[in-house]
Amino acid sequence: MKALLLEGSKTLTLRDIDAPQPNAAAQLITVEATGIGGSEYLGFNKPGIRPLPNIMGHGFTGTTANGKRVAVYPLSGCGGCEYCVADQAQLCADWSLIGVQTDGGFAQKAAVPSAQLFELPAELSWEQSVFIEPFANSINAWELSGASGAQSVAIIGAGSLGLGLVGLAQQAGCKTIHVADLSANRRGAAKTLGATQTTSTLTETYDVVFDTVGSEQTRQHGIDCAKKGGQCVFLGFETATLNVNIAELIRYQKQLKGSFVYSKRQFSDAITLAKICQDTWVKNISFAEVENVLHQFLAGDFEHVKVALRPNGVA
């Protein structure tokens, strides 16, 4: 099979390798669509916790040997600790993501434990299916925030994480859903899903602000735009640290929260939420185009709503 191997920082090589051999508890999946997002361009830049060579791509969907269309739940843990038992495997000491610590969807085939496969509804397109994994992140952040319809919500970044949050805020009946993004294309998608205001930066203060980007600048902007008594929820990983004025947080009683991946239940809910997406938001690309797209992301070009690798072509 063909696979894109991350062999070092900014070193991605297309190779012909043997397809993985699934054990009795796993299945060989023919990969149909792999979302390319923050984890991939950050991993391309700095492999970090990825063992090299690594086949990236943790948000992917495909077909089983008997023709079932499935989404891959990439997260696993030890299965026995307090976090795993509570469906919070991301907090397990042995947490692992397919496509990060192990091989993922930047390949024509992938071996996936049967317990981590979720069947897709027939009406969900492969293009819509690439929103499932990011939307599961959005659902976790939304639930952690405890936001309700009565509140004003702001979302920094209208990539797939941000769009999932727009959909959830719309479904909750939020009257103010302000989305900030530099791309007119992404702002248009946010409008379609129910954003009440779309601009390049936030202009007011809100009960809840979600930062899906994770740069120092967007994090600070998020904290500044949270109302007194409000909260800011962080999903993006662009930088590791932030210099925060704690005295101000105390005085204004602002809460800061981190949100990392999702439970199996939230992933299942994301399959339903992905139906709000439009196929035209996805740019389908081949193996040959991946490296260029990752370089574009690193250079700050996020014009497309979502980019998906189609390792076996587009049927």
Alpha-carbon separation of residue 283 from 183, 224, 280 (angstroms): 15, 34, 7
Q: Is 230 exposed, middle or buried (0-12, 13-18, 19+ CB in 10 A)?
A: buried
Cis peptide before 51 (omega within 30 of 0): no
Window contacting Zn ion (CB under 5 A); options: 77-85, 193-201, 251-259, 289-297? 77-85
State how far the Cα of 267 lies from the Cα of 40, in Å rounded to an integer. Answer: 19
Residue 126, token pair as written in the block: 């492969």
The residue count for binding Zn ion (CB under 5 A) is 5
Least distance (Å) between residue 91 CB and Zn ion: 8
The stretch among 92-100, 126-134, 214-222, 254-262 that binds Zn ion (CB under 5 A) is 92-100
Residue 81, interface with Zn ion (CB under 5 A)? yes
Q: Smallest distance, Å, CB 302 to Zn ion?
A: 34
Q: Is 172 in the site for Zn ion (CB under 5 A)?
A: no
Task: Find how far residue 12's CA is from the centre of its chain.
Answer: 21
Tell the smallest beta-carbon distance from residue 259 to Zn ion (Å): 19
Q: Minimum CB separation from Zn ion for residue 260, in Å?
A: 14
Part of the chain binding Zn ion (CB under 5 A), chosen from 87-95, 99-107, 238-246, 273-281: 87-95
| Dist CA 303 CA 297 (whole Å) | 9
Of the pair 92, 130, the CB lying nearest Zn ion is at 92
- Applying CB under 5 A, the span of 69-77, 141-149, 256-264, 289-297 interacting with Zn ion comes to 69-77
Binding mask 20-59 for Zn ion (x = CB under 5 A): ----------------------------------------
* CA dist., res. 264 & res. 87, Å (int): 7
The CA distance from 180 to 42, in Å, is 22
> Does 92 contact Zn ion by CB under 5 A?
yes
- Quick one: 251 or 265, whose CB is closer to Zn ion? 265
Query: What is the gyration radius of the CA atoms in the chain, in angstroms?
Result: 19
Say how far apart CA 236 and CA 242 lie, in whole Å: 13
* Closer residue to Zn ion in complex, CB, 102/108: 102
Closest CB to Zn ion among 85 and 184?
A: 85
d(CA 308, CA 32): 9
- Per CB under 5 A, does 77 bind Zn ion? yes
**Nearer residue to Zn ion within complex by CB, 82 or 123:** 82
Q: Does 84 sit near Zn ion (CB under 5 A)?
A: yes
The verdict on 261 binding Zn ion (CB under 5 A) reads no
78 binds Zn ion (CB under 5 A): yes
d(CA 259, CA 139): 10
Structure token digits, residue 220: 């600070």
CB neighbourhood size of 280 (10 A): 9
- Provide the binding-site residues for Zn ion, judged by CB under 5 A: 77-78, 81, 84, 92
